[in-house]
Amino acid sequence: MSDFIYVDNSNLYIEGRRVAAVNAGLSPSIYDAMRDGTLDHGYTISFGKLHDFLAGRDTSKIQRVALFGSRPPPNDSIWRFAEKAGFELHLEDRNFNNKEKKIDTGIATLVTKDAYKSGKPGEDVFVLVAGDADYVPTINELRKDGYIVEVVFWNHAARELKEAANKFVSLDSHLEGLRF
């Protein structure tokens, strides 16, 4: 059995800051924090702790731990920390309006490619660390073909995404344990 893990870093990071804001009392609920754009700017996830949480200490069965995000400025060292922690980086340039693009489709493409080229239906576990419903069609197709798909994210992930997965793991109770 091998595991394949795919992380939407920006989605995880921003929504983690919302959860931290609610925990710190900066917003009464996650939905208020989303509506008002409230974030705890002091909260940062440790790439090392995240990697250990997702892949475990014995990585012998892991085939891929991919982290997707936007290409940083040349003097930014954030992605070096992610690589050092064991993540394979997939970086995309931001668009003309400085908006992140191509991340969801990049993840969906790589998950699909890995499943049909290297995966074993009924054996391998595909783990998606993201919270939006854009991934539901990919998960539905993988599950129809016998693949095991787990979603790991903050509890306010899209209901459809949670329901599409074989298993949902909430990160909310691990907020402090993942803190940098």
Residue 96 lies in a domain: yes
Residue 30 lies in a domain: no
Residue 79 lies in a domain: yes
Residue 148 lies in a domain: yes
Residue 17 lies in a domain: no
DSSP track, the chain:
--EEEEEEHHHHHHHHHHHHHHHTTSSSSHHHHHHHT---TT--B-HHHHHHHHH-S--TTEEEEEEEEEPPPTT--HHHHHHHHTPEEEEE---TTS---SHHHHHHHHHHHHHHHH--TTT-EEEEE--SGGGHHHHHHHHHTT-EEEEEE-TTS-HHHHHHSSEEEE-GGGTGGGB-
Residue 102 lies in a domain: yes
Domain range for 160 is 3-9+42-178
pTM value > 0.75: yes
Total tally of structural domains belonging to the chain: 1
**Is residue 161 pLDDT above 70, yes or no?**
yes
Residue 145 lies in a domain: yes
pLDDT digits (tens, 9 = 90+) for 75-133: 667 778 888 888 888 887 776 776 777 888 999 999 999 999 999 999 999 999 999 99
pLDDT digits (tens, 9 = 90+) for 139-151: 999 999 999 999 9
What CATH number should be reported for the domain holding residue 81? 3.40.50.1010
CB 175 within 8 A of CB 20: yes
Residue 90 lies in a domain: yes
